[in-house]
């Protein structure tokens, strides 16, 4: 295991609980439709490099085997830890799909004005929810659905929204 500068890493998901007795772990990818975990040979957990020995799909929650983890106990030490890959290992997202890391810190525009930026993305299962830090110091939650998200422009780091009504 080697280390890498965290500025050269991008988060793609997190490790879940161990699977079986031989060091396998379930993996949750933020954008499962992109299948990134199937396209890389190494990951980083807490800036430590791990080679991937095996990845297999299992009901939308891939199971991975990392070099050096050969017991359930060893694997459990990585449970609930974020998984990163090197930025240069990140496959290009298909047209119309985005990595969460592409969206974080994007400017958010409403009616032609920058109102804030995306601070966090909450995964809800059905539709993710964008946590937007407003320029005035407040915060709003906007679901990632066509009724609220008008345009995503990754190249210019901009997301155009329709403001949800606040009750």
Query: How does pLDDT run across 105-151, given as a tens digit for each residue?
Result: 999 999 999 999 999 999 887 788 999 999 988 999 999 999 999 99
Domain boundaries, the chain: 6-88, 100-161
| Global confidence as pTM | 0.71
Q: 6-88, which class in CATH? A: mainly beta
Which CATH fold would you assign to the domain 100-161?
Answer: SH3 type barrels. (2.30.30)
73-91 per-position pLDDT tens digit: 999 999 999 999 988 888 7
Output the DSSP codes for the chain: --B--GGGEEEEEEEEEEETTTTEEEEEESSGGG-GGGS-SEEEETTEEEEEEEEE--TTS-EEEETT--SHHHHHTTTT-EEEEEGGG-PPPPTT---HHHHTT-EEEETTEEEEEEEEEE--SSS-EEEEEETTS-EEEEESSTTTEEEEETTTTEEEE-PPPP-
């Amino acid at each position: 295991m080697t280390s890498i500068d965290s500025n050269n890493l991008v988060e793609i998901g997190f490790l879940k609980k161990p699977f079986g007795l031989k060091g396998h772990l379930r993996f949750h990818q933020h954008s499962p439709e992109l299948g990134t975990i199937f396209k890389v040979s190494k990951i980083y957990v807490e800036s430590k490099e791990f080679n991937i020995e095996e990845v297999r799909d299992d009901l939308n929650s891939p199971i991975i085997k990392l070099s050096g983890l050969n017991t359930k106990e060893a694997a459990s030490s990585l449970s609930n830890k974020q998984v990163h890959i090197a930025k240069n290992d990140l496959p290009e997202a298909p047209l119309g799909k985005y990595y969460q890391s592409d969206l974080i810190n994007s400017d958010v525009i409403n009616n032609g004005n920058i109102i804030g930026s995306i601070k966090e993305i909450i995964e809800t299962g059905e539709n993710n929810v964008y946590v937007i830090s407003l320029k005035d110091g407040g915060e709003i939650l906007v679901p990632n659905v066509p009724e609220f998200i008008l345009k995503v422009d990754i190249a210019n780091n901009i997301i155009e929204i329709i403001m949800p009504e606040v009750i």
